[in-house]
Amino acid sequence: MSHASPQAADTWTSAQIQAVVDEYRSLPGAMLPTLHALQNRFGHIPEAAIPIVAEALRHTRAEVHGIISFYHHFRTQPPGRHVIQVCRAEACQAVGARALEAHVKSALGVDYHQTTADREFTLEPVYCLGNCACGPSLRVDDEIHGRMDAAGFDRLAAQLSATVVEVK
Partner 1 sequence: MTTTIYVPCDTTARSLGADAVAARLTRAADRLGVAIQLKRNGSRGLFWLEPLVEVETAAGRVAYGPVAPTDVDALVEAGLFEGRQEHDLALGDIEAHPYLARQQRLTFSRIGLTDPLSLEDYTARQGFAGLQQALALTPQGIVDEVKASGLRGRGGAAFPTGIKWQTVHDTPAAQKYIVCNADEGDSGTFADRLVMECDPFMLIEGMTIAGLAVGATQGYIYLRSEYPLAQAMLDEAIVRAEAAGYLGDDILGSGQTFHLEVRLGAGAYICGEETSLLESLEGKRGLVRAKPPLPAIEGLFGQPTVVNNVLSLAAVPFILDQGGQAYADYGMGRSRGTLALQLAGNVARGGLVELAFGTTLRELMESFGGGTRSGRPLKAVQVGGPLGAYLPQNQWDTPLDYEAFAAFGGVVGHGGVVMFDDSVDMGAQARFAMEFCAVESCGKCTPCRIGAVRGVEVIDRIRAGDAADDNLVLLADLCETMVDGSLCAMGGMTPFPVQSVMKHFPDDLTRPLAEGGR
127 binds partner 1 (CB under 8 A): yes
Q: What is the DSSP letter of 147?
A: S
* Site pattern 1..20 for partner 1 (x: CB under 8 A): xxx-----------------
Q: Is 66 in the site for partner 1 (CB under 8 A)?
A: yes
Task: Please pick, from the candidates 62, 77, 109, 130, the single residue that binds partner 1 as defined by CB under 8 A.
Answer: 130
C-beta contacts of 139-144 below 8 A and 24+ residues apart: 139/3, 139/83, 139/84, 139/85, 139/87, 140/82, 140/83, 140/84, 140/85, 141/3, 141/4, 141/5, 141/82, 141/83, 142/1, 142/2, 142/3, 142/4
The verdict on 139 binding partner 1 (CB under 8 A) reads yes
Question: Does 30 help bind partner 1 (rule: CB under 8 A)?
Answer: yes
CB closer to partner 1, 85 vs 118:
85
Asked whether position 31 contacts partner 1 by CB under 8 A, the answer is yes
Per CB under 8 A, residues contacting partner 1 are: 1-3, 28-33, 35-36, 57, 66-67, 70-74, 89-95, 98, 126-135, 137, 139, 142-147
